[in-house]
Amino acid sequence: MVSASEFRKGLTFEMDGQVFMIIDFQHVKPGKGAAFVRTKIKNIMNGGVVEKSFNPTDKYPKAHIERKEMQFLYEDGGLYYFMDNETYEQMPLNKEQVEDAIMYIKPNDTAIIKFYKGEAFSVEAENFVELEITHTEPGIKGDTATGATKPATLETGIVVNVPLFINTGDKIRVDTRTGEYMERL
């Protein structure tokens, strides 16, 4: 059991038969009245986000989330197939389960699949991925303004802002948590 006064970002708990993850929290001690914990929580099964206040003494069962590294194989008809690296079993996941991470994953890349009670609910790409640029406008010679960027389309279809010296065909490293260009390889 975890009490509301122990809430931290990323903590998962069960409430009303649902599993929630804390996105943001704030302990509030008003001048009058009792203290409370203001939170923003996400339902991990359906993705809904709600803001809710808790009494610091409220207790909830902690939810155990299993994380498993799996290999992305291919996409077919809106289903994304991942393979367990230990058992070689294939698991299809729908777009809602993979939408946050699939723009950074190409076939044969590994990803982290999150499970709750044996049911997959989300996919995480590795923190840093290496992708090739399929299209970007050429940099203009002499345009060397500090920090200037231009949009570049990567091999997975995502568009990232890159420095002016980056060209089509270059491989770059992208931070999947922020979607930002890190470096040219």
pLDDT tens per residue, range 98-113 = 877 888 888 888 888 8
Using 50, 70 and 90 to split pLDDT, how confident is the model at 145? low
Segment 24-83, tens digit of pLDDT: 888 888 888 888 889 998 888 777 888 998 888 889 998 888 888 999 998 888 888 999
Mean pLDDT of 103-129: 85
Q: Which of 125, 144, 162 is the last residue of a domain?
A: 125
DSSP letters spanning 87-104: T--EEEEEHHHHTTTGGG
Using 50, 70 and 90 to split pLDDT, how confident is the model at 143? low
* Pairwise CA distance, residues 109 & 119, whole Å: 21
User: Could you tell me if 53 and 83 lie in one domain?
Assistant: no
What is the tally of structural domains in the chain?
3
Residue bearing tokens 């001690």: 29
Q: What is the pLDDT of residue 33?
A: 83
Q: Which of 39, 60, 81 is the last residue of a domain?
A: 60
Q: Which of 19, 42, 60 is the last residue of a domain?
A: 60
User: Could you tell me if 161 and 179 lie in one domain?
Assistant: yes
Mean pLDDT of 136-164: 79
* Pairwise CA distance, residues 161 & 148, whole Å: 9
User: Could you tell me if 119 and 70 lie in one domain?
Assistant: yes
Q: What is the pLDDT of residue 146?
A: 66
DSSP letters spanning the chain: -EEGGG--TT-EEEETTEEEEEEEEEEE--SSS--EEEEEEEETTT--EEEEEE-TT-EEPBPP-EEEEEEEEEEETTEEEEEETTT--EEEEEHHHHTTTGGG--TT-EEEEEEETTEEEEEEE-SEEEEEEEEEPPPPTT---TT-EEEEEETTS-EEEEETT--TT-EEEEETTTTEEEEE-
User: Could you tell me if 37 and 75 lie in one domain?
Assistant: no
Q: What is the pLDDT of residue 96?
A: 77
* Pairwise CA distance, residues 23 & 41, whole Å: 5
User: Could you tell me if 140 and 111 lie in one domain?
Assistant: no
Write the CATH number for 21: 2.30.30.30
User: Could you tell me if 165 and 138 lie in one domain?
Assistant: yes
Which structural domain, as residue segments, surrounds residue 31? Answer: 2-60
Q: What is the pLDDT of residue 2?
A: 86
Write the CATH number for 137: 2.40.50.140
User: Could you tell me if 36 and 71 lie in one domain?
Assistant: no
Q: What is the pLDDT of residue 78?
A: 84
Q: What is the pLDDT of residue 144?
A: 60
User: Could you tell me if 54 and 85 lie in one domain?
Assistant: no
